[in-house]
Amino acid sequence: MASTFTDRLTVNICQKKSPLLVGLDPRWEQLPDVFRKTADSDNPADRAAAYREFCREVIDVVAPLVPAVKPQAAFFEQLGPAGMAALANIIQYAAEKDLVVIADGKRGDIGSTAVAYAEAYLGREQSIWGADALTVNPYLGDDSLAPFAKVAEDRHAGIFVLVKTSNPGGKTFQDLDTGGGPLYMRVAELVDRLASQSVGHCGYGCVGAVVGATYPEELVDLRDTMPHTWFLVPGFGAQGGDASDVAGAFDERGLGAVINSSRGIIFAHAREPYAEKFGETEWQQAVESATLEAIQQLSDATPAGRL
């Protein structure tokens, strides 16, 4: 059995022959009617129950097709204790389906607080939340990343550090000139140094990077700068990035990146051509069809086709 996080992720990707990562971002207004019609939208417990069942049913569809899922903690935190209980249930359920689980919490702090965040989330068997990996904000500096990296390595888990994000406003800080290159490149260099300290058989360490699909040229440069770093690539699909935009994230084997799609898959029933073909009554079939289409697009346009 693969021991490091990236080795386990590699095994899942090779078994599924796809790097597609499905984001679990439940939004009340976009849920199929079957989940909303029996719930009180003003009752956090009702909404949390609907999120839990919706995400579990998405997992049922995508588990045979993709290597990993990424629940977005914010949508569950929004609902208070009931929402957090739903998040815990979904993480456990995805793990039972042999999916790698990346908790999207974008945590970041220093010292014992950073350790507490890391110990809370990282490690399927060792942590309360039981996630395999966590997204991390680096802008408190290297002493904020080191505790996360250490806990991740000790627990055979992973972190994904925000380096070059897909949102338009990310450039406000990330693109600032540091006298020899943009700030995000300095972050990238630090991330790869950390990653190089825990390289597994697959060639990548437990410290990864979040790099957006909406910046394809920068993606190529960052792949060169971070040879030991696994990428989590948002922005594919609903945010505007297409499969050819993410090709630069991969190595020549078709490894080194997971490509996230959230709304474009989990709410496929609400967009064409799936809305006309399936509609709300067959929303799971729409999820499956959209997942298969995304997998094929990535196979056709990126080195992932070599898997």
Q: Active-site positions?
A: 106
**Share in percent of the chain as helix, strand, coil (round to 5):** 50, 15, 30
Task: Kindly state the DSSP code that residue 214 receives in the 8-state scheme.
Answer: T
Separation between Cα atoms, residue 199 and residue 238, nearest integer Å = 33
CA 18 to chain centre: 14
For residues 144 and 155, what is the distance between their CA atoms, to the nearest angstrom?
A: 18
pLDDT at site 237: 72
Separation of alpha carbons 165 and 86, rounded Å: 27
Taking residues 148-157, report their average pLDDT. 97
C-alpha span between 183 and 146 (Å, rounded)? 19
- Give the total number of structural domains in the chain: 1
Query: How far is CA 16 from its chain centroid?
Result: 17
Cα angle 72-77-83, degrees, rounded to a multiple of 5: 95
Look at residue 153 in the predicted model and tell me its pLDDT. 97
**What is the C-alpha to C-alpha distance for residues 141 and 144, in angstroms, rounded to an integer?**
5
- What residue numbers bound the domain in which 157 lies? 5-306
Q: Which residue has the higher pLDDT, 150 or 41?
A: 150
Dihedral sign computed on CA atoms, order 65, 67, 71, 72: negative
What CATH number has the domain bearing residue 122? 3.20.20.70
The string over 217-236, giving b where at least 16 C-beta atoms fall within 10 Å of a residue's C-beta and e elsewhere, is: ebbebbbebbebbbbbbbbb
Express each pLDDT in 47-57 by its tens digit: 999 999 999 99
**Mean pLDDT confidence for 212-241:** 89
**Per-residue pLDDT, 33:** 94
Question: Above pLDDT 70, what percent of the chain?
Answer: 98
